[in-house]
Amino acid sequence: MRALTWQGKHDVRVETMPDPQIVNPRDAIIEVTSTAICGSDLHLYDAVIPGLKAGDILGHEFMGRVVETGPGSTLKPGQRVVVPFTISCGACFFCRAGQFAACDNSNPVETQEASELLFGHPVSGFFGYSHLTGGYPGGQAEYVRVPFSDVGPLVIPEGPTDEEVLFLSDILPTGWMAAENAQIAPGDNVAVWGCGPVGLFAVQSALLMGAGQVIAIDHHPRRLELARSLGAKTVDYRQSHVLEALMEMTGGIGPDAVIDAVGMESHGFSPDNLMDAAKQKIGIGADRAHVLRLALTAVRKGGRVSIPGVYGGLADKFPLGTLMEKGLQIRTGQTHVQAYTKQLLHRILEGEIDTTFLISHRLPLEQAATGYRNFRDNQNDWTKVVLKPGRSGADLLP
Amino acid sequence: MRQHDPAHPQAMGQGEAEQDHDSAPGRTARTLDFGGYQVVGRTVTIAADPALIHDHFRDPARLNAILGSHLRVEPGAGDHLVWVLATSSREIRVETAPVHDRPGEMRAWRSVEGAELDVEIKVQLREAPAGRGTEVEAHVAYRPKWGLAGHLAARLRGIDPKAQGRQALKRLKMLLETGEIATARNRRAG
């Protein structure tokens, strides 16, 4: 099969790889019809997440048709499914508690060890990501082996297009959980840093949850425009002083909740970010946490901080005093995708949520490297890239 | 002096210091001296019935399914069990005899006289709180060849009893909770 492989920093290539097979009883093989490049794929592309190996197949946002099932799978060949990026057994203590992204049993024993050493506990398995999370071959490929296929994949009824449901695999539940973690009460002021896909879905979710005002912060005009189209107010950090603007736009109180949808690769030329960038460059201190520091400073006393942005290691100059003295609450974590897919599919089918506004480019899988490069280097125009395995390109024109 | 509390089994009575102790399991003590023994162990909680878990430790074939590529067991004479550890240069074979076999509670083996390694292996089961299943504690006390240096060398190579025990328990948990052992392999072996 053809698959997008990681070869090193800023080097991804589509190569011919062996077709996957059923290995364990609960496996299914999916023929991928649509797959997307995620913002967290860019962390891999930039090599700031540890644990990639040359030749790894990337991709954790994908959907397709079931072509083969193991004896323990509940899927049937021919069904159309969206596959959560989190691989979860459904049976362990964490899965039974709905904390699917903390699954104890999906990260193979050999790769669990490194994450246990790093984080104190082993993390669960993800598709197409670091070997800390299992090193599972991902979905930017023609075919994928899907473990625990009786738990994760969501069967899609006839009707919606791929693009209407594809983002149930990650970014829509991630934006939704980010807003949920912000514990939004009706009328709340909510600030969201980062108008990438997760930030925009967090904006959309916060408004659906009853926020009175959502303020989105970024510097890309196109992305800010998308936020405004969803109903947000916007602050361009290159035009305005963010902290002062947020205070003035919230009656001098500060946002009730803040959402950091940027994560470990903050932009900007503030002194702390320049120091973080230097450390990241030479491999000490993996996270550029400028946005998180800013969000903690901006949020009102007793406010809530939600962190869907990915962090991978250590951050210094972390404002613990701000956290304590203002009495803040923080909620974060990888998304428990399986806990949200059914209710969000229902909202899509009912017309409450549209996700297609985000897609700027559709490419054949063979052009995936172009997609990565532009999604990273031209973030204003390339807001979301959907890859189509088995398609030539000419048939993808809108 | 620390008593033998079944909830916190010590180094099978080996090397306990004559002083007041906290409630932590003996193997977590900040000491490298357990009377010449190395004492290691690990507890996992498995959402399964203790009888089912206990059966797993009575059947060499089922035990082998969780032991990984460096370690296996073979039936020995009578009710003996031979543990075979593959190092980079050779196999270390240790014949053990059962010393405890209480269904649903405990299974333990001790190396026979003249075995290459002086070792005691114990698996204890107890009900986990709040319906979480069964706490399974594996515990190994052994005298490493070449003493502490031998122990540290084994740890560096990832073939020490602590790593072997920890990984075996994780595989057991996967197998009993999900029916399979997770793998990122994309194709069947062979």
Q: Answer whether residue B108 is part of any domain.
A: yes
Q: Within an 8 Å CB–CB cutoff, is residue A91 touching chain B?
A: yes
Closest chain B residue to A24 measured between Cα atoms? B180
Domain ranges of chain A: 2-169+336-396, 172-332
Q: Answer whether residue B154 is part of any domain.
A: yes
The yes-or-no verdict on residue A207 having pLDDT over 60 is yes
| DSSP structural state of residue B144 | -
**Segment A225-230 mean pLDDT:** 98
**Given an 8 Å threshold on Cβ–Cβ distance, is A104 in contact with B173?**
yes
**Segment B135-153 mean pLDDT:** 82
Burial of A325 (C-beta count, 10 Å sphere; 0-12/13-18/19+):
exposed
Closest chain B residue to A151 measured between Cα atoms? B178
pLDDT number for residue A398? 53
pLDDT number for residue B14? 45
Contacts 24+ apart (CB under 8 A), A41-45: A41/A128, A41/A372, A42/A265, A42/A372, A42/A375, A42/A376, A43/A263, A43/A264, A43/A265, A43/A310, A43/A312, A44/A6, A44/A129, A44/A130, A45/A6, A45/A9, A45/A10, A45/A12, A45/A372, A45/A376
Q: Within an 8 Å CB–CB cutoff, is residue A197 touching chain B?
A: no
Q: Answer whether residue B49 is part of any domain.
A: yes
Contact B119, B111 (CB under 8 A): yes
Q: Within an 8 Å CB–CB cutoff, is residue A68 touching chain B?
A: no
pLDDT confidence band for B18 (50 / 70 / 90): low
The yes-or-no verdict on residue B32 having pLDDT over 80 is no
Closest chain A residue to B170 measured between Cα atoms? A109
Say if domain A172-332 classifies as CATH 1.10.940.10: no
Distance CA(B99)–CA(A234), nearest Å, equals: 71
The yes-or-no verdict on residue B4 having pLDDT over 90 is no
**Given an 8 Å threshold on Cβ–Cβ distance, is A93 in contact with B185?**
no
**What domain count does chain B have?**
1
pLDDT digits (tens, 9 = 90+) for B145-189: 777 677 677 766 666 888 889 999 999 999 999 999 999 999 998
Distance CA(A4)–CA(A137), nearest Å, equals: 10
Q: Answer whether residue B1 is part of any domain.
A: no
pLDDT digits (tens, 9 = 90+) for A67-95: 999 999 999 999 999 999 999 999 999 99
Q: What percent of chain B has pLDDT over 90?
A: 58
Q: Answer whether residue B134 is part of any domain.
A: yes
The yes-or-no verdict on residue B15 having pLDDT over 90 is no
pLDDT digits (tens, 9 = 90+) for A115-163: 999 899 999 999 999 999 999 999 999 999 999 999 999 999 999 999 9
Q: What percent of chain A has pLDDT over 70?
A: 97
CATH number at residue B58: 3.30.530.20
pLDDT number for residue B157? 66
Residue with tokens 């954790």: A60
pLDDT number for residue A381? 95
Outline where chain A has alpha helix (H): 39-45, 93-96, 109-119, 162-165, 171-181, 197-208, 221-230, 242-249, 271-282, 290-298, 320-325, 341-349, 368-377
Distance CA(A146)–CA(A338), nearest Å, equals: 14
- Residues spanned by the domain of B43: 33-177
**In the CATH scheme, what is the homologous superfamily, with its name and number, of domain A2-169+336-396?**
Medium-chain alcohol dehydrogenases, catalytic domain (3.90.180.10)
pLDDT digits (tens, 9 = 90+) for A32-44: 999 999 999 998 9
User: From the list A105, A108, A137, which residue is nearest B173 (CB)?
Assistant: A105
Q: Within an 8 Å CB–CB cutoff, is residue B184 touching chain A?
A: yes
- For residue A52, the distance in angstroms to the closest alpha carbon of chain B comes to 14
Distance CA(A63)–CA(A156), nearest Å, equals: 10
- For residue B112, the distance in angstroms to the closest alpha carbon of chain A comes to 31
The interface residues of chain A toward chain B in range 255-314, judged by CB-CB distance below 8 A, are none
Indicate whether this complex's ipTM tops 0.90: yes
Q: Answer whether residue B188 is part of any domain.
A: no
pLDDT digits (tens, 9 = 90+) for B73-89: 999 999 999 999 888 78
The tokens for B128 are 């986990």
The interface residues of chain B toward chain A in range 61-80, judged by CB-CB distance below 8 A, are 68
Query: How confident is the prediction for chain B on average, in pLDDT?
Result: 85
